[in-house]
């Protein structure tokens, strides 16, 4: 027979992927999400579990509230962040640690493009959006988890959805089209063919760079096909040792770029067969667990 501690650990491990998925989507940082999940375990192991009727609901409530508290603190220091802040990419090619990711809506809430946009939302809006879109929880349960009434939860979801869907086709990305675009992007970038590269970009494309003050990156967003094409080719031309590999990041085909022995991540936003956004992550603090799979 399992001891009480073993039973608590078994239940917690069963729900860990979901808890990590909640925390990561709210925070946009895997390191912070792991800290929040660990704090959730401490709360769970110290709780009177005999009065907990539904462990999953209890655990999601704790992890959501802890993540909201941490997000509010993070917003303060992100105001002084050097350059553009982008979410931390997560390698999902070998494993998918951030549950769930079965439906198009669930995968979309993991994409770096959506996580970047979610940075616009208030902490409660972000939490409601995540719990509704990724976990398909009813508004009544979301309200219970976050200490809101059902009507307020609905209102926050509508408001958050409006911010995220404005000017964006959320589920129009064909994975095969994305892979082809990434392959063509590599071919053009490798040869310095700026004209071919620009042909893959929407006219209103934007590139966001995140070096965090620790690596070379665009300090401000670069907009327009001509400017983005020049930026990408100019960046690649600065290095003699360049390598490209495709991989899966946050559930989507992305690109690993090796510049002067350091791997960086390019993720792409795609609509109507063109690249509408590029997120170029070079901050080494956010890339410590991103390695090419041989």
Output 188 or 73, whichever has higher pLDDT: 188
User: Rounded to whole angstroms, how far apart are CA atoms 109 and 171?
Assistant: 11
User: Rounded to whole angstroms, how far apart are CA atoms 33 and 215?
Assistant: 24
Q: Looking at residue 96, what is its pLDDT?
A: 63
Q: Is the pLDDT of residue 198 over 90?
A: yes
Q: Is the pLDDT of residue 293 over 60?
A: no
Q: How confident is the model at residue 167 (pLDDT cuts 50, 70, 90)?
A: low
Q: How far is CA 203 from the centre of its chain?
A: 25
- Go through the domains of the chain in sequence order and give each one's CATH number: 4-163 (no CATH), 175-286 (3.10.450.50)
Secondary element (H or E) of residue 112: helix 112-118
Q: Looking at residue 78, what is its pLDDT?
A: 79
Q: How far is CA 80 from the centre of its chain?
A: 21
Tokens of 292: 């090419």
Closest CA to 98 of 195, 166, 89: 89
Lowest mean pLDDT among 67-71, 92-96, 180-184: 92-96
Query: What number is the average pLDDT over the span 263-276?
Result: 94
Query: What number is the average pLDDT over the span 94-118?
Result: 84
Helices 150-165 and 139-146, axial angle in degrees (round to 10): 100
The predicted model scores a pTM of 0.93
Q: In what order do the strands lie in the sheet with 274-281?
A: 222-223, 201-210, 274-281, 262-271, 252-259, 242-249
Q: Is the pLDDT of residue 118 over 60?
A: yes
Residue written as tokens 């934007």? 206
Query: What number is the average pLDDT over the span 22-41?
Result: 96
Q: Looking at residue 171, what is its pLDDT?
A: 56
Q: Looking at residue 241, what is its pLDDT?
A: 87
Q: Is the pLDDT of residue 165 over 90?
A: no
Tokens of 205: 């494309």
- pLDDT digits over 58-93, tens only? 999 999 999 999 999 887 777 889 999 999 999 887
Q: Cα separations (Å) of 169 from 8, 86, 205?
A: 42, 20, 14
Q: Looking at residue 152, what is its pLDDT?
A: 97
State the average pLDDT for the chain: 91
Q: Looking at residue 170, what is its pLDDT?
A: 59
User: Rounded to whole angstroms, how far apart are CA atoms 225 and 278?
Assistant: 11
Q: Is the pLDDT of residue 2 over 70?
A: no
Residue 123's SS3 state is helix
Closest CA to 11 of 48, 51, 49, 39: 49
Query: What number is the average pLDDT over the span 192-197?
Result: 96
Q: Looking at residue 76, what is its pLDDT?
A: 79
User: Rounded to whole angstroms, how far apart are CA atoms 28 and 175?
Assistant: 23
CB 81 within 8 A of CB 29: no
CB 198 within 8 A of CB 226: yes
Q: Looking at residue 79, what is its pLDDT?
A: 80
């Amino acid at each position: 027979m399992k001891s009480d501690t073993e039973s608590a650990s078994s239940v917690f491990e069963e729900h860990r992927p979901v808890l990590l998925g909640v925390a990561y989507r709210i925070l946009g940082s895997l390191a912070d999400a792991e800290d929040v999940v660990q704090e959730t375990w401490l709360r769970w192991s110290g709780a009177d579990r005999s009065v907990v009727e539904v462990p999953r609901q209890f655990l999601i409530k704790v992890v959501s509230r802890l993540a909201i508290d941490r997000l509010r603190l993070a917003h303060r220091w992100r105001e002084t962040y050097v350059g553009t802040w982008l979410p931390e990419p997560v390698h999902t090619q070998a494993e998918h640690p951030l549950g769930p990711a079965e439906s198009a809506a669930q995968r979309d809430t993991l994409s770096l493009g959506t996580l970047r946009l979610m940075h616009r939302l208030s902490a409660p809006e972000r939490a409601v959006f995540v719990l509704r879109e990724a976990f398909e929880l009813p508004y009544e349960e979301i309200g219970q988890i976050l200490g809101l009434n059902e009507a307020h939860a609905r209102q926050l979801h509508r408001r958050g959805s409006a911010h995220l869907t404005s000017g964006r086709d959320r589920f129009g990305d064909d994975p095969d089209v994305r892979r082809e675009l990434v392959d063509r992007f590599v071919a053009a970038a490798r040869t310095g063919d700026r004209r071919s590269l620009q042909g893959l970009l929407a006219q209103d494309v934007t590139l966001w760079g995140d070096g965090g003050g620790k690596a070379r990156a665009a300090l401000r967003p670069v907009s327009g096909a001509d400017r983005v094409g020049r930026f990408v080719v100019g960046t690649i031309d600065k290095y003699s040792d360049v390598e490209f590999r495709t991989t899966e990041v946050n559930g989507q085909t992305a690109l690993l770029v090796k510049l002067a022995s350091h791997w960086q991540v390019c993720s792409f936003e795609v609509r109507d067969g063109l690249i509408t956004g590029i997120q170029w992550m070079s901050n080494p603090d956010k890339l410590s667990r991103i390695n090419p799979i041989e």
